Chains A and B, each alone.
Chain A
């Protein structure tokens, strides 16, 4: 639709390597990232045909109301090919959209690029996930399941911890 604005330029891909071995590495990286962010379950965040994507630093600040919430995470692409985040779904929300913060306004982004050897950063004050039509109000200490869909890579499920409303990843509280 409207805003296919590119977060950072995607390098033209000349050569796509077979990724069998990368997948193992990705799983290990994922497990590490998930352990760091306290997202326990071993099978979450796995990408079987992994194009080198891993997800870390995921959290949702406990929302003010039961109508809307934000979510943040970083998708790292260790692969030599770029990918695109095309769609996000969640068990707690009827609708999840990716929003870009442009100055003081937000606008819905159709697809966000994850450059080769780069990352897509969704962080407070910048681009973020917006959860609408919440089925319940997520509370601090819970986890919400978020499924990330990509143009090339198989979907990755992230168990996103719900933090306090004032949580700051820089200070860790």
Chain B
């Protein structure tokens, strides 16, 4: 019985492979298993069953003006990341990946997208410091700073835990960045997709057109 089933599935597999024009028909059972595994693990995006509500944050933008996150990004595809500018590795890489991917979108889609960088180190990241740093990445990115407790509370509603900037025993400053980028849907305003630190520029290039429409990547 089992044997027969296997034969049937092997046939099916062979057919699938032919259809998708994947050349070699040998070892078909094996390769189909591999393909399906790859399709699952390949994705950088994590789609949430229970989307996050957009945090009710009113902070200060790089112009020094109040910025109401919910009001300003309502109905817009929005990416939110928590980081700080004195971070040499993960923060600039994450922001650069998003900024480069954004430039591959049509001008209309670029205008729709909101990219929001919220500092986790508001003491050092003044509006001017944020503005200068973001200019090196993409001047259209919204940079927000403000009261740390407000930022921390906002991050917490998105499952992101950050601690205030502190000094270690040697007087070296230590700050913390968030571990993920959250994509909010233009349709529901819910945070429905997460990207970890290992998401590459190619992942964002592939996914942004879908996120713009509020679709699952």
Is the beta-carbon distance between A171 and B200 smaller than 8 angstroms? yes
Closest chain B residue, CB of each to CB of A125: B197
Is the beta-carbon distance between A65 and B174 smaller than 8 angstroms? no
Which residue of B136, B168, B170, B197 is within 8 Å of A65 (Cβ)? B136
Which residue of A3, A61, A105, A107 is within 8 Å of B93 (Cβ)? A61
Closest chain B residue, CB of each to CB of A168: B200
B: number of interface residues (CB 8 Å): 34
A108 to B179, alpha carbons, bound, how many Å? 20
Chain B 60-87 interface mask (CB, 8 Å, partner A; 1/0): 0000000000000000000000000111
A52 to B179, alpha carbons, bound, how many Å? 37
Is the beta-carbon distance between A108 and B172 smaller than 8 angstroms? yes
A165 to B201, alpha carbons, bound, how many Å? 10
Is the beta-carbon distance between B175 and A107 smaller than 8 angstroms? no
Asked if B10 CB lies within 8 Å of chain A CBs, one says no
Q: Which of A99-151 contact B (CB under 8 A)?
A: 99, 101, 104-108, 124-125, 128, 130-131
Shortest CB-to-CB span from B123 to chain A, Å, is: 15
Q: Across the interface, which residues of A come within 8 angstroms of B163, CB to CB?
A: 105
Chain A 1-29 interface mask (CB, 8 Å, partner B; 1/0): 11100000000000000000000000000
Q: Across the interface, which residues of A come within 8 angstroms of B202, CB to CB?
A: 171
Q: A65-B133, A105-B176, A125-B197 are in contact. Are A165 and B170 (CB under 8 A)?
A: no
Shortest CB-to-CB span from A2 to chain B, Å, is: 5
Is the beta-carbon distance between A165 and B168 smaller than 8 angstroms? no
Which residue of B89, B95, B136, B177 is within 8 Å of A70 (Cβ)? B89
A61 to B94, alpha carbons, bound, how many Å? 12
Q: Bin the interface of chain A by size.
A: 20 to 34
Closest chain A residue, CB of each to CB of B100: A166
- Interface on chain B toward A: helix, strand, loop, or mixed SS? loop
Asked if B158 CB lies within 8 Å of chain A CBs, one says no
Q: How many A-B residue pairs have CB under 8 A?
A: 78
Which residue of A2, A64, A108 is within 8 Å of B96 (Cβ)? A64
A108 to B86, alpha carbons, bound, how many Å? 14
Is the beta-carbon distance between B197 and A64 smaller than 8 angstroms? no
A63 to B96, alpha carbons, bound, how many Å? 10
Q: Across the interface, which residues of B come within 8 angstroms of A105, CB to CB?
A: 163, 174-176
Is the beta-carbon distance between B168 and A69 smaller than 8 angstroms? no
Interface-central residue, B95, B172, B177, B179, by most chain A CB under 10 Å: B172
Is the beta-carbon distance between A68 and B88 smaller than 8 angstroms? yes
Asked if B28 CB lies within 8 Å of chain A CBs, one says no
A3 to B202, alpha carbons, bound, how many Å? 36
Is the beta-carbon distance between B89 and A64 smaller than 8 angstroms? no
Which residue of A68, A104, A130 is within 8 Å of B162 (Cβ)? A104
Q: Which 3 A-B pairs have the closest CB atoms?
A: A70-B88, A165-B96, A64-B136
Q: Which residues of B contact A (CB under 8 A)?
A: 85-90, 92-93, 95-97, 100, 132-133, 136-137, 161-163, 168-170, 172, 174-179, 197-198, 200-202
Can you show 7 pairs from A to B with CB atoms below 8 A apart? A2-B169, A64-B137, A104-B179, A105-B175, A166-B93, A168-B201, A171-B202
A-B contacts besides A2-B169, A165-B100, 12 pairs, CB < 8 Å: A1-B170, A61-B92, A64-B92, A65-B136, A99-B88, A101-B90, A104-B178, A105-B163, A108-B168, A130-B88, A131-B88, A166-B93
